[in-house]
Amino acid sequence: MKVKKVLNNSLVLSSDENGQEIIVMGKGLGFNSKEGDLIQESSVEKIFTPKDQRTKQEYVHLLESIPRDYLDTINSALEEMKSDWRNELDDRYFLMLLDHIAFAIERVEKGVILQNKLLNDVRIHYPEEYAAGMIVITHLNEHLHINLPEEEAGNIAFHLVNAKNEEENFENTVLAVTMLKDILNIVRYQLNVKLDHQSMRYNRFVTHLQYFIRRIFDNKQLNSKDSFLYEHHKTKYPNEFKCAQSIATYCESMTGKYSTNEEVFYLIIHLVRFTTNET
């Protein structure tokens, strides 16, 4: 790769082997570089491949808008995350995360702290994403001598959840966390069960609920024509059926989407497994 244009100390324009224009990021990459210089591969930290000229302009504008002192440090903070997280982040999500973190740093330096009311739920239901967020803010706090709050780890976690589900958007991610929290409260109050966040049973149930919510968002709910099992479990487990119906009604009020009988049937099964020793 050769330098086509130096954008700043960390960014240069180049071309890949197919002649497609790319943006190359690396600490000090643009320092003392000029057009035509070879780019040392060991200096490359990230390559952005815009799909068209408009996208390239958007990428360049966003990257150039981030203060240089922030950019290298944010990127090194993201490097601290597990490599598989970085693989989840395509160009668009990586840039969104860079932009979000840069804005968060700017807010904190101005003394503006935004409360994340879902922080505890994110910490419980998305522990890997939350842990990755904590790695990032810890790195930034140490190297920039700032005090990003724990809430920002929750916000970073939202971006990582979105990156895992490319068709998802930020609003749906927030809604999914809210719905999961509310559904668990419905279960807790209607079936009078204690939620042990550390138990295998709890984690198994939460996983089912996450997939249940995902199917609602994606319009991919389970729907067979066989109603026998639904009617059987409806009769055999009236309390769990009532709770499952409450969950379905709640989800409909939040999304406008009706839950099928088969989805309610599987909710009953998982509610029984969650509240008893049945498997």
Q: How far is CA 243 from CA 77, 191, 240, 258, 269, in A?
A: 44, 7, 5, 16, 12
Q: Is 89 within 8 Å of 122 (Cβ atoms)? A: no
Residues facing residue 14 across a β-bridge = 22
Tell me whether domains 66-166 and 170-275 share a fold: yes
* Dihedral angle sign, alpha carbons of residues 41, 45, 50, 56: negative
pLDDT along the chain (279 residues), means of 10: 82 84 83 81 83 81 81 84 65 81 85 73 85 93 93 86 65 84 94 82 82 85 78 91 96 93 90 72
CA distance 165 to 265: 26
**Predicted pLDDT at 114:** 67
What's this model's pTM, rounded to 2 decimal places? 0.64
Using CB atoms within 10 Å of the CB of residue 51, give its burial: 0 to 12 exposed, 13 to 18 middle, 19+ buried: exposed
Q: Which of 56-59's residues contact partners 24+ apart within 8 Å by CB, and which partners?
A: 56/21, 56/23, 59/23, 59/91, 59/95
Cα 105 off chain centre by: 19
Q: How far is CA 253 from CA 160, 241, 243, 257, 259, in A?
A: 27, 18, 15, 8, 11
Q: Is 63 within 8 Å of 7 (Cβ atoms)? A: yes
Architecture of the domain spanning 66-166: Orthogonal Bundle (1.10)
One-letter amino acid for residue 33 of the chain: S
**Predicted pLDDT at 278:** 45
- Tell me which CATH code domain 1-61 carries: 2.30.24.10
**Predicted pLDDT at 170:** 67
**Predicted pLDDT at 177:** 86
Q: Domain locations in the chain?
A: 1-61, 66-166, 170-275
**Predicted pLDDT at 87:** 61
Q: Is 169 within 8 Å of 163 (Cβ atoms)? A: no
CA distance 11 to 8: 5
- Homologous superfamily, domain 170-275: PRD domain (1.10.1790.10)
- Short-list 170, 184, 218, 204, CA closest to 273: 204
